[in-house]
Structure 1
Amino acid sequence: MAAAIDACAGQPEAAWSGLLIAARETAPSAAVWVQPQPGRTARLWPPRSHSPWTPTLLRGALHWAEAQGLRIVQAVIDSTDEQAAVQLRENGFPRLVDLLYLAAPSNPKQRQARLASAPSPGVRFESIGDLPSPRLVSLMTQIEDSSLDCPELHGVLSPPQAIEGFRQQGQYAPQHWCILRHQEQDAGVLLLAPHPQTPCWELMYMGVLPAWRGQGLGRELVAEALRRTLSGGAERLLLSVDTRNHPARELYEQVGFSPYAWRSLYAWIAKEP
């Protein structure tokens, strides 16, 4: 939490209204921060799990989120942190999904898998253009249908809310927000974000429309992401995937990704009115 607070030190005062502190007479004892994010969402930075104030602070965070009209508050913790997991579950933040974090070198000489140096015939990538983009909203709505990634979150955020969240993740680079065109039809979406403070790019989102699945277009998306990462001067491409999404995991492993972390997502989701 301390690192996140330092990184957001210049934020306006309203950004700190979700910082709840349990204080002794002389000094703070524990704290929780509900960090507002776009689209009526927030990230939860939980207190240290061994603090006796943890249950009170987590329930306070939940009440604060409800009062603010938030749609979802998410906490990501190490999957081996059993004490934190219990505290979250018992205080209104059930586990939704386990996430596998993967990385692949952008340099093809460092990967065993061979990928084409250019898109296959009949495949091209077209910039999405300016936001808001009704075209992107339509494509993401279709991609969510039968998607195996985090089905518990389907319908929680509207596509425009999800898009705004992606826009503020990493460095927004509209030239690397692309639509995959196959046989002159929209077939998939690829959203990338450079992270200039690190030698990495992030694959934030990719998906193939249901009508085009099973035709190797997922591999085309990943290959394009790696090509752009290399041409952008970054050493690695990072992504995360639902551990239950075995087709995606198999694809990532085939093209040279390897795991570097395993984390769990816990979340409070507002009830529909």
Structure 2
Amino acid sequence: MTFSYSSSSPEVVLCPPARRREALLQLAAAHDPKLQAALSAAVKAMYNQPDTQWDGLWVTLEAGQLTAAIWVQPLPMNMAQLWLPKQLPSEQGVHTSALLRAANAWVEAHNIRLCHLELSSQASVSEALLREHGMQRLACLEHLIGSSRYRLSMNEVLPLSLQPFGELSLREQVSLLAAVGQDSLDSRPLRDVLSVEELLDGFYQQAPQAPQHWYAVGYRDAVVGVLLLAPRPALGRWELMLMGLTTDWRGKGLGRALLNKALTLAQQAGVQEVMLAVDDVNVPAKRLYQQAGFIRYAQQRLFAWKGSGERRDLPN
């Protein structure tokens, strides 16, 4: 299959299997080390897939030379992640625009519900170019890192209990996440697109082994929140995937106590650093993490093409 949009546009074709490695190396060169590692993991997960599963990988060719690549990586639940090409300054983004048009057409043809990408501050592709090709900005995430040895001061001891998240039924897990997400400032546009069930599936996909460090948080005989932690052995850190309280228990100092509990768990496991991502608009959460000594080490903007598919919810 070939896309051609004007006489000045490069030829965009489905990547031939024999040139797949070359195309993926082109993609890796377009990203910072963090995203290169994520791309490598995504490619490894596709090693044993048939060629038909790679029909979201597109390249530009000029005189037989592969000049750029873009990949719509298929994900469960008819969703996808977009891996951007390396923009060629000499071509003033012509290759990138042509590939974005091809990727968008492919997403629409396959009725992908949500095709997202992460754009770092160092990315050569501009936000304006993505918006020009129909992408919407969903969130701006601040990536923070802090020491597991730090503890926030507390006016009183607030004894929190932790129940393994896996002991809850699926319906109880979904109900708790829904209660924690109510009126949350984190990634509101994303929550409008994805159901709680799909968000939970996403957490499981990020860290299949992590549920041993996932907890329902108890206080005064009530379930008041959730704490999801994930070891990242390759980085020698733990990630705080989600920490939240239900609406009735916010503003009572429990967030400080819960963050201390998370840092204690990491330190007891021999981990020196904890990392997390927080929405830039979530000022209260950012303030809490800053008080605990967390500092920003990266920023990423989340963009997406939204499809017309319906959200997947549990039946009543």
TM over 0.5: yes
Cα distance in 2, alignment partners of residues 48 and 176 from structure 1: 37
RMSD: 2.3
Cα distance in 1, alignment partners of residues 131 and 172 from structure 2: 38
How much does 1:214 deviate? 0.9
Cα distance in 2, alignment partners of residues 241 and 17 from structure 1: 34
Deviates more, 1:167-176 or 1:201-210: 167-176
Would the aligned equivalents of 1:39 and 1:165 in 2 still touch at CA under 8 Å?
no
Question: 2:289 is matched with which residue?
Answer: 252
Partner of 2:229, secondary structure, is strand
How much does 1:267 deviate? 1.3
Question: 2:11 is matched with which residue?
Answer: none
The structure-2 alpha-carbon separation of the partners of 1:221 and 1:38, relative to structure 1 and needing over 3 Å to count, comes to: farther
Cα distance in 2, alignment partners of residues 40 and 243 from structure 1: 28
Question: 1:23 is matched with which residue?
Answer: 61
Would the aligned equivalents of 2:111 and 2:309 in 1 still touch at CA under 8 Å?
no
* Residue segments in structure 2 that go unaligned for 5+ positions in a row: 1-26, 29-35, 311-316
- Residues 25-57 of structure 1 deviation map (CA, whole Å, 9 limit, x = unaligned): 333111111122333332211112334221121
Cα distance in 2, alignment partners of residues 197 and 36 from structure 1: 24
Question: 1:105 is matched with which residue?
Answer: 147
Q: Does 1:207 align with 2:249?
A: no
Cα distance in 2, alignment partners of residues 132 and 23 from structure 1: 52
How much does 1:193 deviate? 1.1
Higher fraction of helix: 2
User: How many percent of aligned residue pairs carry the same amino acid?
Assistant: 37
How much does 1:227 deviate? 1.6
The structure-2 alpha-carbon separation of the partners of 1:181 and 1:259, relative to structure 1 and needing over 3 Å to count, comes to: same
Tell which structure's C-alpha radius of gyration is larger.
2
How much does 1:81 deviate? 4.3
How much does 1:238 deviate? 0.8
Q: What TM-score results when the alignment is normalised by the length of structure 2? A: 0.77
The structure-2 alpha-carbon separation of the partners of 1:132 and 1:54, relative to structure 1 and needing over 3 Å to count, comes to: farther
* Aligned residue pair count: 267
Q: Does 1:68 align with 2:110?
A: yes
Which of 1 and 2 has higher RCO (CA within 8 Å, sep 6+)?
1
- Residues 53-83 of structure 1 deviation map (CA, whole Å, 9 limit, x = unaligned): 2112112212222333322111111235474
Would the aligned equivalents of 1:201 and 1:236 in 2 still touch at CA under 8 Å?
yes
Question: 2:44 is matched with which residue?
Answer: 9
How much does 1:101 deviate? 0.7
How much does 1:261 deviate? 0.8
Cα distance in 2, alignment partners of residues 219 and 182 from structure 1: 14
The structure-2 alpha-carbon separation of the partners of 1:204 and 1:40, relative to structure 1 and needing over 3 Å to count, comes to: farther
Within-5 A mapping of 1:58-207: 58-79=100-121, 81=123, 83-106=125-148, 108=149, 111=150, 113-114=151-152, 120-129=157-166, 133-170=170-207, 172-207=209-244
Q: Does 1:34 align with 2:72?
A: yes
How much does 1:17 deviate? 2.6
Deviates more, 1:241-250 or 1:53-62: 53-62
Cα distance in 1, alignment partners of residues 305 and 169 from structure 2: 28
Letter aligned with residue 19 of structure 1: L
Letter aligned with residue 9 of structure 1: K
Q: What TM-score results when the alignment is normalised by the length of structure 1? A: 0.88
- Residues 225-245 of structure 1 deviation map (CA, whole Å, 9 limit, x = unaligned): 212222222221111111111
* Residue segments in structure 1 that go unaligned for 5+ positions in a row: none
Would the aligned equivalents of 1:201 and 1:229 in 2 still touch at CA under 8 Å?
yes
Cα distance in 1, alignment partners of residues 186 and 216 from structure 2: 19
Cα distance in 2, alignment partners of residues 240 and 186 from structure 1: 24
Cα distance in 2, alignment partners of residues 142 and 59 from structure 1: 39
Would the aligned equivalents of 2:164 and 2:215 in 1 still touch at CA under 8 Å?
yes
Q: Does 1:49 align with 2:87?
A: yes
Question: 1:265 is matched with which residue?
Answer: 302
Would the aligned equivalents of 1:115 and 1:223 in 2 still touch at CA under 8 Å?
no
